[in-house]
A and B are shown apart, each in its own frame.
Chain A
């Protein structure tokens, strides 16, 4: 009886020993040579794996930094603290990227821009856009089927009455919503900016008015009454030049279709 137990123990022990030695040898000679800095930088990153930097995840971004292919200021969730940590570790100077957040350049909800037809199909913006051009009267505005909200890793986007809104306190500027929007109306804007033209329709005034009661009609009042150069016309659509700070807030009142709004 004792012999059997002893024998079993011996065999198991022997197998364990051989395997252990094999593993140790393999670890030493077959090891993948990896830049130790990659692991170190990865530890400094927040680990959210949001992809906002444009890489597949934190580890991928860490590798890109270590290889000198990426700037160190691309991590939005980590922010300034993360960047300066990496800068300190690598011993390089860092210039902070301007903190940005996503913004839906449309304020035409279901009451402002009526439906052209009754859509029946899957609740996905790209699919709705591909079905007879989308059901909203305005063919440039937010469809409100929430593809951006579903792709947002931090639930910063809500859909209210057929209009997507980004909560800029929560937004980590990962850019996933920008990429998924079939109408390309979500843009990255500086967090510091708080006055925006919430319309993306390049159509002429009369057409815009037919499609939406709050679309930009290209009247240029904002250009006239706003700060010098803060509002610029792109065809029939007013846009904000975010490099110029807006001080004259009366443009909000001046805008006849109320598409200049605070956010």
Chain B
């Protein structure tokens, strides 16, 4: 396999302070498991899973507890053995209430996994897809789109390139980084499975150049993979982990406006998702845990923890030695650019949460929004080449049609604009509000038609 520098540079983007050194050297480790886990039924994009156990039921590690509820949905499995305490409502990291299966953990080695597929090469594409779907695998980069759907594009959209996303462009986070360093072989296996399902001729692994040890590990593990395979080293720039920008950086193709990556013949999978695929296929283990980076200046010992889903943030922080320098001002699920600030440490982890970031009052500033001074820095920073200043002013004035007319819906909410805004305008929040208005209008129009 060859290593190449990314041949294309997307316009825009920013260079935030990365602070990756806090956790990048810390090997993936387990944690003392909490007595109870609240496993949310909505850990993915689409319809929440339907709980299929009731209070009092005994579950083993890997038992199905939430059934897939619709086409865009994913099943949820018990991450530990124990007894179902209740089906309760919890707030997920994004602040939406959702049902959760509360499991009181018991010490037990019993598992309820699926049958391992020792010779996956001889299995049919449908069998492999069924396994991925059954294992509840969703995109682990953040959006949580069910992987099965992503890996089964319609016939008229042939896929020639599979891109493994190891960019991890969010500051602070190192979970994908550690996965690549420690589990590159499993990632390779997962990538080969996904590639054979897609029938993709080309395989690219995209890693930012600030992770030399991950690059070295991946180079070694992918030695000898047949066909057009290459490791694309991206220059460090946010948001290189965004699908659209990454496809451009790797292939030079632009995902058309309103289109999907498959319109360019590409599928992008996170490296952690590739790992999950190999676990599900080769070992039969459903997606019940993930690596989560607990980091920031307000935690004692930043670390990368392999945590079962439903672990509370409090348990993760306890496992890292607690707070450093008193209670943090802000706790974020995910990275500082696109993560969600949470209101409570009872928030449970889920399939898409790649990090918990604790920031001290010194790192967090509460700003008040000022008038836009048209400096144009957001315009230079926007990787989608929008005019965030103008968009936010349209939304502020409730001219939603006006904002839609200048491509509000193309915003990927990466936060580059708000990051550079000297007037501290909450640009992303304006975009979100405007997009929500448009989505509501479209839903109303659709309801009227039907």
Chain A nearest CB, measured from B355 CB (Å): 17
Question: Do the beta carbons of A126 and B436 come within 8 Å of each other?
Answer: yes
Q: Given A117-B343, A120-B366, A120-B367, are A133 and B433 also a contact pair (CB < 8 Å)?
A: no
Chain B interface (Cβ within 8 Å of chain A)? 91, 94-97, 340-344, 366-367, 369, 396, 426, 429-430, 432-433, 436-437
Residues of chain B contacted by A120 (CB below 8 angstroms): 366-367
Top 8 nearest A-B pairs (CB, nearest first) are A132-B95, A133-B95, A117-B343, A127-B433, A116-B343, A120-B366, A132-B343, A121-B429
CB of A127 within 8 A of CB of B95, answer no
Q: Select one of A118, A122, A131, A133 contacting B91, CB under 8 A.
A: A133
Q: Shortest beta-carbon distance, B136 to chain A, in Å? A: 25
Q: How many residues of A contact B (CB 8 A)?
A: 16
B residues within 8 A CB of A118?
Answer: 366
* Residues of chain A within 8 A of B95, CB atoms compared: 130-134
Of B97, B344, B369, B437, which contacts A116 at CB under 8 A?
Answer: B344
Tell me, in angstroms, the Cα distance from A69 to B54 when the chains sit together.
52
29 contacts between A and B (CB under 8 A): A116-B343, A116-B344, A117-B341, A117-B343, A118-B366, A120-B366, A120-B367, A121-B429, A122-B396, A122-B430, A122-B433, A124-B433, A126-B437, A127-B432, A130-B432, A130-B433, A130-B436, A131-B341, A132-B91, A132-B94, A132-B95, A132-B341, A132-B342, A132-B343, A133-B91, A133-B95, A133-B97, A134-B95, A135-B343
Does chain B have a CB within 8 A of A139? Answer: yes
Report Cα–Cα, A116/B91, bound state, in Å: 12
Residue of chain A at shortest CB distance from B343:
A117
Complex formed: what's the CA distance from A124 to B426 in Å? 12
Besides A124-B433, A131-B341, A132-B95, 11 more A-B contacts (Cβ < 8 Å) are A116-B343, A120-B367, A122-B396, A122-B433, A127-B432, A130-B432, A131-B95, A131-B429, A133-B91, A133-B343, A139-B97
B429 touches A127 (CB 8 A): yes
Q: How far is the CB of A201 from chain B (nearest CB, A)?
A: 12
In the assembled complex, the CB of A152 is this many whole angstroms from the nearest CB of chain B, namely 14
Cβ of B396: which chain A residues have Cβ within 8 Å of it? 122
CB-defined contacts of A135 to chain B, threshold 8 Å: 343
A139 contact set on B, CB distance < 8 A: 97
A232 to chain B, nearest CB (A): 24
Q: Which residues of B contact A130 (CB under 8 A)?
A: 95, 432-433, 436
Closest residue of A by beta carbon distance from B94? A132
